[in-house]
Amino acid sequence: MINEISRILKANQVKLVAVSKTQPPERIMEVYNYGQRIFGENRVQEMLLKQAALPKDIQWHLIGHLQSKKVKQITPFVRMIHSVDSLSLLAEIDKQAQKVGRTIDCLLQFHIAEEASKFGLDLTTAQQLLDSADYRAMQNVRICGVMGMATFTDNENQIRTEFLHLKMIFDQLKADFFVDKPFFKEISMGMSGDWEIAVAAGSTMVRIGSLIFADT
């Protein structure tokens, strides 16, 4: 399965984040041995244990909600944080990244789904964040794009509309704040059940867990 998914993603120049939450290190190593190097975790504690136990060339992406008090545990190694949903969280990442002499790649997470429970910004709040003096003074974070999750539904039209909404948010922010910033290029959307719709809607990075780990 991972070979087939990888082939389609490569043809579309879409990166794969293999979501390894709840998977033991042995299963992660099986996927690693296929050549996969980007892995995503949604909990800090679990990511720390796996980072310590697994090869150091793995690029760890934090994809789940992040509490400010846990930021400093991951800043020494995390490659990308997909789930930035407030100025205060971004400020903490900047502060902790500075302490370890790194610049950390981040995505702004948007609320695009119908469900009320999911985290994320809306366009206006994100524009205020990017306009703020606090953000403009930050030197140790780099905002590389946007992330979102569609509603959990089998209505493909709804999923497509939500992904296209995220693509529109990306295009708007690119035009308003990142015109001459080539690093602002990522749209992280698409999971096991909806990754093909996401790719068609312009995803540059899919986060796939169960589908990959189901049969490796």
Ligand X SMILES: *Cc1c(COP(=O)(O)O)cnc(C)c1O
Beta carbon of residue 213, minimum distance to ligand X (angstroms, whole number): 8
Smaller CB distance to ligand X: residue 71 or 149?
149
Taking contact as CB under 6 A, which single stretch among the options 28-36, 54-62, 100-108, 207-215 is the one that binds ligand X? 207-215
Question: For residue 108, what are the β-bridge partners?
Answer: 84, 146
Question: Which range, of 46-54, 84-92, 137-145, 187-195, touches ligand X by CB under 6 A?
Answer: 187-195
Nearest to 114 by CA among 157, 158, 73: 158
Which of 81, 138, 187, 208 forms a contact with ligand X (CB under 6 A)? 208
Is 43 near ligand X (CB under 6 A)?
Answer: no
Q: Residue 158: how many CB atoms within 10 A of its CB? A: 15
Q: CA torsion, points 188, 53, 58, 17, in degrees to nearest 10?
A: -20
Which of residues 21, 43, 72, 95 is near ligand X by CB under 6 A?
21
27 is a contact residue toward ligand X (CB under 6 A) = no
Q: Which is nearer to ligand X, 51 or 109 (CB)?
A: 109
Please, which residues bridge with residue 148 across strands?
110
* Nearer residue to ligand X within complex by CB, 138 or 189: 189
**Residue 198 · residue 184 · CB < 8 Å:** no
CB of 22 to ligand X, least distance (A): 9
| Cβ within 8 Å of residue 110, ≥6 positions away | 120, 121, 122, 123, 126, 146, 147, 148, 166, 169
Using CB under 6 A, list all residues that contact ligand X.
19, 21, 42, 63-64, 149, 191-193, 207-211
